[in-house]
Structure 1
Amino acid sequence: MINLTDSAVNALKSAISSSQHPAGGLRVMIEAGGCNGFKYKMGLAEEPKPDDTVIECSGLKVFVDNKSQEHLVGTTIDFVVAPENSGFTFHNPNATANCSCGKSFS
């Protein structure tokens, strides 16, 4: 369902190891809003919620709520290091349009 690049795995492992709160995995969600109708939301989470699907990627757990699953099928999450704007990017084959910021889609 969701793939993580090696760069994303390394960034997440670093974030988990330096987190002040227990982190059992990465929560990825889709919410209404953003420039194009939907926006990505992600963050470290201690454990999955009852309605989450847990996906194992390179030894990391990714928690995806049931409402977001259909929008995320086949998505690859990458971590890009750039002089101006480093961060996570989403390559989503289900998106028909993307915002220039890369954080929202339709």
Structure 2
Amino acid sequence: MITLTEKAISAVGRFISGSETPTAGLRIEVTDGGCSGYQYGLKLEGSHTPEDTVIDYGEVKVFIDPTSMPMLDGMSVDFLDSIEGSGFKFTNPNAAKSCACGTSFNTSTEGTGTKTCS
């Protein structure tokens, strides 16, 4: 299961209500890339697929594809809003290594080498 904090739910709700296209929820996915091997992807989606795990937070729905789910299971997502900037913060128990940027991770302690964030 993936947990969104109240701040994250509120932020996603604002993004959905401000969207110019019909939006059914937020897709959270893992893709190759980033400083540590994998990176988190977030995007608003008009619908989910039958294979997706759907997590219902009332007005906010989260969609996770079956390939990403094992790497995200147990993760918590928060939304930080400070003078230094704002954005989502991922706390992922499956991440053996994470980059300082906070959006890139690796699930293996022996995997790819960490690169410099840009």
CA contact (8 A) 1:29 1:41 kept: yes
Task: Write out per-residue CA displacement over residues 47-69 of structure 1, whole angstroms, 9 at most, x where no aligned residue.
Answer: 10232111113442110000000
**TM-score of the superposed pair, with normalisation by structure 1:** 0.95
**TM-score of the superposed pair, with normalisation by structure 2:** 0.86
Larger radius of gyration: 2
Q: Match for residue 56 of structure 2?
A: 56
Q: Match for residue 41 of structure 2?
A: 41
Letter paired with 1:87: G
Greater share of helix: 1
Q: Match for residue 102 of structure 1?
A: 102
CA contact (8 A) 2:13 2:59 kept: no
- Gaps (5+ residues) in structure 1? none
Question: SS of 1:90's equivalent?
Answer: strand
Q: Match for residue 13 of structure 2?
A: 13
Q: Match for residue 82 of structure 1?
A: 82
Which ranges of 4 or more aligned residues in structure 1 deviate by more than 2 Å?
Answer: none
- Gaps (5+ residues) in structure 2? 107-118
